[in-house]
Structure 1
């Protein structure tokens, strides 16, 4: 049996991939080791890739504190709601634009594309949320980011790749506009839907800047997502007063608790990604090359 030839470039590429993988993985391993190490080892800077004097006290503190549990549950609910709403809005925007008989389609496409490169800015957006009465309310975390133009273009391009004959035959049979979307386009678009669901879910799960801006007033703190809670802890951990409020009793414990909270907020979304990865390449590449 003929063995394939291996060139030097193959080994170079493999080595580069290994190095890049290690650059991504080693910080996570270090973080996990810090979260499981004793306070003395952390104070002495003895922790690198493996835990020293394993201690799960930081995780016990996180998992038994109602503040973290409440933020975690709210973030899960918020992520699910935002993902579903965003997918509905994306499909509702992309589907009409594939109809050549839609009047003003080219103008609509131009205006939609312009929003990818220009926006009003932070202060006008804040004033808009204020005038709509959304500040310090959960809807302020859902409505402003419910549609991504980039993701809409991907879905629209994927819809273009579905044969028009399917749509025309359904129209001849008397299928309505929404019936065609729900019965033909959505079932055939599972790869791109899964891909965009991953984009929206990761973006919402990791988002904190909008919550930091829009939930700063009275009553807003009860809607803090997990990432904003983590941001506040990491940002204020050097303050003795805040450290005491958060349950830190020593510099070592604070370092272990910070690492545990980061792991606590990162692992769930990492568990979701492998389940959707098989759709990722097909969803993005097919949607990107068909027009």
Structure 2
């Protein structure tokens, strides 16, 4: 008769049990503190505007379920235009980011590269120092890249931090694979696209997330170099609505006494409209995120 193996239970001390309870309690409180602002905005966006202005304290459920704020937001033509411009920046800009960062990372990950160390030092220097905002803008102006969406793509093709992460990930690929491919006569292009990138799906997923979130949330340079409102990405439109109280196009027709309450509901709905799409992307890359970040961690 086969002996049944019994799992060994490690008896924890009283101090360890107290620490575990405290740890879980503390982390739960932190999670709730992070989630509640998002939950509040979501519930407020579905609330009746008049009831919302009269409410004080915590908001766990909508006050008078109402979709008028979302109806008004989606009737604003600038919201749709902002979405289209942001999608252009994502669908065109992020692939360019990934390709250019991959090329730079592959070059820097090879061991026998002439002047590799000085080049790496020059690249790292840009993480801490730059020419300044005004020279950067003047360069864009001389290159005729102001007032165009390409001015938000080409100058930001490579992020130095992301380049270093991807370089470190490429260095973790066994040299024997690269050497075997070179013996078989494979070129560097063949090695990069047939060996290195297929083995680096995790770090590529992380880079897509990093560049995608950065592109989605960026607004400063868009507001600085774009003069035509039709070119504004979504975050610039959101900034106008939240900071400049520009909700006149969405609250038109409302009574003067209701204008303030309607404007508040519209702001909450606009935040949700601008936030939900990027939140929906994360679950698809979550399984790669931890692995890719650890593989691409900067090592001594």
The TM-score normalised by the length of structure 1 is 0.93
Matched residue SS, 1:144: helix
| Alignment partners' CA distance in 2, 1:93 and 1:287 | 15
1:9 aligned onto 2:6: no
Q: Report how far residue 7 of structure 1 moved.
A: 1.8
1:254 aligned onto 2:263: yes
Matched residue SS, 2:296: helix
1:163 aligned onto 2:177: no
Q: Report how far residue 164 of structure 1 moved.
A: 0.6
**What are the ranges of 5 or more consecutive residues in structure 2 without an aligned counterpart?**
1-6
| Alignment partners' CA distance in 2, 1:138 and 1:158 | 31
| Alignment partners' CA distance in 2, 1:14 and 1:37 | 33
Matched residue SS, 1:7: helix
Q: Report how far residue 260 of structure 1 moved.
A: 0.4
Query: Among residues 21, 29, 32, which one is paired with 1:22 in the alignment?
Result: 32
Write the mapping of 1:148-159 to structure 2, written as runs, cut at 5 A.
Answer: 148-159=159-170
| Alignment partners' CA distance in 2, 1:179 and 1:88 | 14
Q: Report how far residue 2 of structure 1 moved.
A: 4.5
Q: Which moved more, 1:43-52 or 1:185-194?
A: 43-52
Corresponding residue for residue 228 of structure 1: 236
1:76 aligned onto 2:80: no
Q: Tell me if structure 2 keeps the 8 A contact 1:37–1:256.
A: yes
Q: Once superposed, what is the RMSD of the aligned Cα atoms?
A: 1.6
From the CA coordinates, give the structure whose radius of gyration is larger. Answer: 2
How many aligned positions are there? 284
1:49 aligned onto 2:60: yes
| Alignment partners' CA distance in 2, 1:198 and 1:273 | 7
Q: Report how far residue 45 of structure 1 moved.
A: 2.9
Quickly say closer, same or farther: Cα 1:137–1:171, change in 2 above 3 A: same
Q: Tell me if structure 2 keeps the 8 A contact 1:41–1:52.
A: yes
Corresponding residue for residue 291 of structure 2: 282
